[in-house]
């Protein structure tokens, strides 16, 4: 928060103006690798036999290390578990695509779409970077709901890892 | 464009490079310490929150492997000696907006180790607020560990930077030796008493021929 107290016309009765502004966040600290904070996302509701494509927030990775070392982003999903009957939708039924990756600075991004999120599978690799650079994408996640899946609420975890 | 890089997030960096690895390539971005049996290594990292909101961060070691030169993290729970020797303190931090905090990684190497290079990652992770149905999204960022274990193995990655100075090969030494010998032999021929001896021998030969 920035507080700026402007006092005008000191001769007359006090006229005070207070301006409060919230600054936008400065770039991440030098020498670090940074990932944006994940937004809450929901899977919505669907019927057995359908494919769902939940809306996810964008992911940004910023590299201020100043090396050409690059990094890899991996994704892993847990099984989605039906909280009442214990039925699961496994990560083998999930696909992930980064779609278009927007970059700032100098870097080459290699995208790798995945159709099985069981392991920590690589979905994007940064190489030939120099100076400060960043990459942003909005993931597309597809989940196939098998026929015969039990009714109910399913929950699980999706993890992005960058190193 | 500026907007995306200014969005901020969860960051991690090496805040102190151990003196023994200072000269190694990539020691400023990876943990590359050689792990000798019965030793304990510590290294400081800095975890930062460059957003305008508070952040709850978990910090922990995780396994990784190298496949065809590609560094790949493994799912939590995969077997890894390096992970079992490693710990991070504190293991969770509440970071206020725009603040950073140091954590210490400790690697306690047991007496019995099998030589090789071990891979891992020190992760800093932040989770989304669970959705109404309990779906959670986790983003994590990490410092890679490429640690040679034992005395005999050399660190396989990161690649060593070419040191620049060339070494004289055995063949070159042979050539130098032959040249030195030739120079000495020529110089010997030109010595005054050697010249005199040669002249006398020639004279003696002529005398013999005349007879």
Spans of all domains in chain B: 2-149, 170-210
Show the tokens assigned to A71. 């990094």
Structure confidence by residue, pLDDT tens digits, A139-150 = 999 999 999 899
Show the tokens assigned to A131. 């100076």
Domain assignment of residue A2, yes or no: no
More confidently predicted of B77 and A40: A40
Least confident of A71-85, B20-34, B80-94, B152-166: B152-166
Least confident of A94-98, A118-122, B84-88: A118-122
More confidently predicted of A65 and B4: A65
Domain assignment of residue A86, yes or no: yes
For chain A positions 96-155, those within 8 Å of chain B (CB to CB) are 102, 104-105, 119-120, 122, 125, 132, 134, 136, 153-155
The alpha carbon of residue B45 is apart from the nearest alpha carbon of chain A, in Å, by: 10
Q: Is the pLDDT of residue A7 over 80?
A: no
Place of tokens 């309990």: B134
Q: What is the mean pLDDT of residues B112-116?
A: 91
Q: Is the pLDDT of residue A97 over 70?
A: yes
Q: What is the mean pLDDT of residues B13-32?
A: 92
The alpha carbon of residue A8 is apart from the nearest alpha carbon of chain B, in Å, by: 31
- Domain extent for A76: 26-162
More confidently predicted of A97 and B134: A97
Query: Could you tell me whether strands A157-162 and B136-149 are parallel, antiparallel, or unpaired per DSSP bridges?
Result: parallel
Query: What is the predicted pLDDT for the residue at A23?
Result: 57
Query: What is the predicted pLDDT for the residue at B166?
Result: 41
Show the tokens assigned to B173. 């030494």
The tally of domains found in chain A comes to 1
3-state secondary structure chain A: CEEEEEEECCCCCCEEEEEEECCCCCCCCCCCEEECCCCCCCCCCCCCCCEECCCCCCEEEEECCCCCCCEEEEEEECCEEECCCCCEECHHHEEEECCCCEEEEEEEEEECCECCCCCCEEEEEEEEEEEEEEEEECCEEEEECCCCCCCCCEECEEEEEEC
CB-CB under 8 Å, B138 with A122: no
Q: Is the pLDDT of residue B3 over 70?
A: no
Query: What is the predicted pLDDT for the residue at A27?
Result: 66
The DSSP code sequence of B159-190 is PPPP--PPPPPHHHHHHHHHHHHHHHHHHHHT
Domain assignment of residue A135, yes or no: yes
Identity of the residue in B126, B143, B158 whose CB atom sits nearest the CB atom of A37: B126
Place of tokens 């210490």: B104
Show the tokens assigned to A69. 């070392």
Which among B135, B140, B161 is the top mutation candidate for probing chain A, defined by the most A β-carbons within 10 Å of its own β-carbon?
A: B135
Report yes or no: A67 at the B interface, CB cutoff 8 Å. yes
Query: What is the predicted pLDDT for the residue at B2?
Result: 35
Architecture of domain B2-149: Sandwich (2.60)
More confidently predicted of A109 and B77: A109
Instruction: Determine the Cα–Cα distance for residues B188 and A125; give it in Å rounded to an integer.
Output: 69
Domain assignment of residue A157, yes or no: yes
Would you call the peptide bond into B81 cis, given omega within 30 degrees of 0 as the criterion? no
CB-CB under 8 Å, A65 with B13: yes
Domain assignment of residue A150, yes or no: yes
Would you call the peptide bond into B200 cis, given omega within 30 degrees of 0 as the criterion? no
The alpha carbon of residue B132 is apart from the nearest alpha carbon of chain A, in Å, by: 7
Identity of the residue in A28, A31, A159 whose CB atom sits nearest the CB atom of B9: A28
| Sheet containing strand A94-97, strands side by side | A51-52, A140-144, A94-97
Least confident of B36-45, B146-155, B185-194: B146-155
Nearest to B13 by CA among B127, B111, B142, B158: B142
Identity of the residue in A29, A134, A162 whose CB atom sits nearest the CB atom of B48: A29
Between helices B170-189 and B192-210, what is the axis angle to 10°?
60
More confidently predicted of B107 and B155: B107
Structure confidence by residue, pLDDT tens digits, B45-99 = 999 999 999 999 999 999 999 988 889 999 888 889 999 999 999 999 999 999 9
Length of chain B: 211
CB-CB under 8 Å, A31 with B5: no
Domain assignment of residue A4, yes or no: no
Q: What is the mean pLDDT of residues B5-34?
A: 89
Q: Is the pLDDT of residue B189 over 90?
A: no
Instruction: Determine the Cα–Cα distance for residues B77 and B63; give it in Å rounded to an integer.
Output: 8
Collapse the DSSP code of B140 into the 3-class scheme (helix H, G, I; strand E, B; otherwise coil) and give the result.
strand
Q: Is the pLDDT of residue B152 over 60?
A: yes
Least confident of A29-38, B11-20, B201-210: B201-210
* Residue A26 binned pLDDT confidence (cut-offs 50, 70, 90): low
Can you name the residues that pair with A135 across neighbouring β-strands? A61, A103
Least confident of A7-21, A122-136, B122-136: A7-21
Place of tokens 């130098």: B176
Show the tokens assigned to B159. 């690649």
Largest distance between two CA atoms of chain B: 127
Domain assignment of residue A8, yes or no: no
* Residue B165 binned pLDDT confidence (cut-offs 50, 70, 90): very low
Q: Is the pLDDT of residue B169 over 70?
A: no
A37 CB-near residues (< 8 Å, 6+ apart):
B8, B9, B10, B51, B53, B55, B126, B128, B139
Q: Is the pLDDT of residue B4 over 60?
A: no
Show the tokens assigned to A91. 């990560």
CB A6 within 8 A of CB A19: yes
Domain assignment of residue A131, yes or no: yes
Burial class (CB in 10 A: 0-12, 13-18, 19+), A67: middle
Cα B131 to its chain centre, rounded Å, is 43
Least confident of A63-72, B82-91, B200-209: B200-209
CB B88 within 8 A of CB B142: no
Beta strands in B79-135 (DSSP E): 86-89, 92-95, 99-108, 116-127
């Amino acid at each position: 928060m920035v507080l700026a107290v402007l006092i005008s016309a000191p001769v007359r009765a006090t006229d005070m103006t207070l301006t409060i502004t919230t600054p936008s966040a400065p770039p991440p600290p030098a020498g670090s690798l940074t990932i944006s904070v994940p937004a809450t996302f929901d899977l919505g509701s669907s019927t057995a036999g359908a494919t769902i494509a939940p809306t996810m927030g964008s992911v940004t990775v910023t590299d201020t290390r100043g090396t050409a070392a690059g990094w890899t982003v991996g994704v892993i999903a847990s099984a989605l578990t039906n909280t009442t009957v214990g039925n699961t939708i496994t990560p083998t039924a999930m696909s992930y695509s980064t779609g278009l990756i927007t970059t700032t600075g100098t870097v080459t991004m290699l995208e790798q779409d995945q159709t099985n999120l069981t392991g920590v599978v690589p979905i994007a690799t940064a190489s030939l970077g120099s100076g400060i650079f960043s990459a942003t994408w909005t993931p597309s996640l597809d989940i196939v709901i098998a026929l015969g899946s039990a009714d109910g609420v399913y929950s699980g975890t999706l993890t992005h890892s960058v190193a | 464009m500026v907007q995306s890089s200014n969005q901020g997030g969860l960051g991690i960096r090496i805040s102190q490079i151990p003196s023994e690895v200072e000269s190694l390539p990539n020691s400023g971005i990876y943990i590359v310490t050689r792990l000798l049996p019965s030793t304990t290594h510590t290294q400081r990292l800095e975890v930062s929150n460059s957003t305008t909101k508070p952040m709850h961060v978990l910090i922990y070691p995780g396994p990784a492997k190298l496949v065809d030169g590609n560094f790949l993290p493994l799912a939590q729970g995969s077997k890894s000696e390096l992970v079992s020797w490693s710990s991070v303190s504190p293991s969770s931090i509440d970071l206020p907006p725009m603040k950073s905090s140091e954590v210490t990684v400790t690697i306690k190497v047991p007496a019995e180790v099998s030589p090789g290079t071990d891979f891992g990652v020190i992760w800093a992770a932040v989770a989304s607020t669970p959705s109404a149905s309990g779906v959670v999204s986790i983003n994590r960022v990490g410092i890679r560990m490429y640690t040679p274990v034992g005395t005999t193995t050399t660190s396989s990655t990161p690649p060593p930077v070419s040191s620049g100075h060339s070494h004289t090969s055995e063949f070159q030494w042979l050539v130098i030796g032959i040249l030195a010998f030739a120079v000495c032999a020529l110089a010997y021929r030109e010595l005054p008493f050697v010249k005199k001896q040669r002249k006398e021998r020639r004279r003696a030969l002529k005398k013999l021929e005349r007879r």
